């Protein structure tokens, strides 16, 4: 699914203008709205094509949304071209316009639901079941797995990805994870030292708040094991994760322990690639993707809930999948 701002913002505006065209009868205003619709529709189409990760064949809500948008776009541009060249009204022109408006409304509605995370495609088998973790080797096969625990895994090439300033590239040899805050022993650990923690694997679904997601096998160490090594102070209740790009998010200590949350260094049996979050990505099951911090370089243990990057911009700090994602 394409969620580039260059796609959905102008496409949403084009849909609104298409809907308005069905109600505006003044010819001059109708013409101006038509030009605006065509302008934003073409920008939205360019954003859709430039993203390059769209899929028009999968039988899911994203494909349905795409076909609604494409149908509305084609009808709208046909009507625009009809008026631009023939310069006259007709019953066919009006009927086509009404149909384009209806399809635009449907595409806009589905798009809004996708953007708010209310149409989450999380597999039912993974949505509410208990976390099934198994001991694993820190040495990954480095051959991408396609199936695990009877689940079909999403190939890395098909996995969505968001970042606030683009992919980060971190040097494995100079990397250090800083763990500070309400701990008896502050830690500064290398990548190799972190890989020496007990390793576990699990299959989990990463649900983006925008409505897309993917199923993957994650391999890493438990956050709780690292915290235990640092020895938490009695007033510790919340852990903030910091990333190399300035991103941050946090989770309650109780959740991290109860869910045995992993800091993953492997995905589908291969080392996390840079775009997927190397060296470490948080596996925050049943939380929206903005809680799944990537490129983690620091952890801070605090005594109160803290709003992270997106949470301070209006997103829910709870981030439970299926709930409304905005505060």
**What ranges make up the beta strands (E) of the chain?**
134-136, 147-148, 151-152, 176-181, 187-190, 199-207, 213-222, 238-243, 248-252, 262-267, 270-271, 281-283, 296-302
Q: Contact, 301 vs 185, CB < 8 A? A: no
The answer as to whether 288 is a domain residue is yes
Co-location of 272 and 164 in the same domain: yes
pLDDT recorded at residue 242: 98
- End residue of a domain, out of 115, 144, 178: 115
pLDDT recorded at residue 326: 77
The answer as to whether 324 is a domain residue is no
pLDDT recorded at residue 311: 94
Q: How far is CA 132 from CA 41, 103, 125, 163, 281, in A?
A: 46, 43, 12, 28, 18
Co-location of 152 and 90 in the same domain: no
67: tokens are 């076909």
The label of the residue with tokens 């619709």 reads 37
Co-location of 76 and 134 in the same domain: no
Give CA–CA dist 154/216, Å, rounded.
6
Which are the contacts of 124, defined by CB distance < 8 A and separation ≥ 6? none
Give CA–CA dist 179/241, Å, rounded.
9
Co-location of 150 and 177 in the same domain: yes
Helix (H, G, I), strand (E, B) or coil at 154: coil
- End residue of a domain, out of 75, 92, 115: 115
Tens of pLDDT along the chain (327 residues)?
A: 445 667 878 989 999 999 998 898 888 898 899 889 889 988 988 877 876 556 677 666 778 888 898 899 899 888 888 877 776 777 888 888 899 999 999 999 988 887 666 666 567 667 666 568 999 999 999 999 999 988 999 999 989 888 899 899 999 999 999 999 999 999 999 999 999 999 999 999 998 877 778 999 999 999 999 999 999 999 999 999 999 999 999 999 999 999 999 999 999 999 999 999 999 999 999 999 999 999 999 999 999 999 999 999 888 999 998 787 877
Q: Which structural domain, as residue segments, surrounds residue 43?
A: 5-115
Co-location of 160 and 294 in the same domain: yes
pLDDT recorded at residue 175: 98
Q: How far is CA 181 from CA 235, 299, 303, in A?
A: 11, 8, 9
73: tokens are 């776009």
pLDDT recorded at residue 130: 57
* Number of domains the chain is built from: 2
Which are the contacts of 133, defined by CB distance < 8 A and separation ≥ 6? 200, 201, 202, 260, 262
Specify the CATH number for the domain of residue 143. 3.90.420.10
pLDDT recorded at residue 261: 97
User: Which DSSP state fits 131?
Assistant: P
Co-location of 233 and 300 in the same domain: yes
Co-location of 30 and 152 in the same domain: no
244: tokens are 């190399």
- End residue of a domain, out of 115, 133, 154: 115
End-to-end CA distance of the chain: 25
Co-location of 63 and 168 in the same domain: no
15: tokens are 């849909």
Co-location of 129 and 262 in the same domain: yes
Burial of residue 192 (number of CB atoms within 10 Å: 0-12, 13-18, 19+): exposed
Model pTM score: 0.76
Co-location of 92 and 134 in the same domain: no
Give CA–CA dist 303/251, Å, rounded.
12
Q: Contact, 179 vs 295, CB < 8 A? A: no
pLDDT recorded at residue 1: 45
What's the half-sphere exposure (Cβ side, CA atoms, 13 Å) at 110? 17
């Amino acid at each position: 699914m394409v969620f580039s701002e260059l796609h959905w913002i102008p496409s949403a505006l084009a849909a609104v203008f298409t809907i308005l065209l069905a109600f505006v009868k003044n010819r001059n205003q109708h013409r101006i709205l038509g030009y605006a619709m065509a302008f934003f529709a073409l920008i939205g189409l360019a954003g859709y094509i430039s993203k390059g990760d769209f899929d028009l064949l999968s039988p899911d809500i994203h494909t349905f949304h795409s076909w609604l948008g494409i149908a509305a776009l084609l009808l709208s541009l046909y009507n625009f071209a009809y008026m631009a060249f023939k310069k006259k009204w007709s019953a066919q022109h009006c009927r086509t316009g009404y149909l384009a408006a209806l399809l635009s409304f449907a595409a806009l509605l589905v798009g809004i639901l996708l953007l708010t995370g209310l149409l989450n495609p999380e597999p039912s088998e993974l949505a509410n079941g208990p976390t099934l973790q198994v001991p694993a080797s820190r040495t990954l096969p480095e051959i991408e797995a396609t199936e695990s625990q009877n689940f079909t895994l999403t190939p890395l090439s098909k996995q969505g990805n968001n970042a606030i300033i683009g992919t980060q590239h971190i040097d494995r040899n100079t990397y250090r994870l800083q763990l500070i805050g309400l701990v008896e022993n502050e830690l500064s650990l290398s990548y190799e030292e972190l890989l020496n923690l007990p390793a576990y694997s699990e299959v989990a679904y990463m649900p983006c708040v925008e409505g897309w997601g993917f199923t993957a096998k994650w391999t890493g160490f438990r956050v709780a094991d690292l915290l235990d090594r640092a020895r938490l102070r009695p007033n510790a209740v919340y852990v903030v994760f910091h990333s190399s790009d300035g991103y941050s998010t946090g989770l309650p200590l109780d959740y991290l322990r109860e869910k045995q949350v992993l800091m993953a260094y492997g995905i589908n049996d291969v080392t996390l690639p840079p775009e997927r979050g190397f060296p470490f990505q948080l596996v925050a099951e049943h939380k929206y993707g903005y809680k799944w911090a990537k490129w983690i370089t620091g952890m801070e243990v605090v005594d109160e809930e803290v709003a992270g990057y997106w949470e301070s911009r209006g997103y829910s700090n709870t981030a439970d999948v299926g709930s409304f994602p905005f505060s």
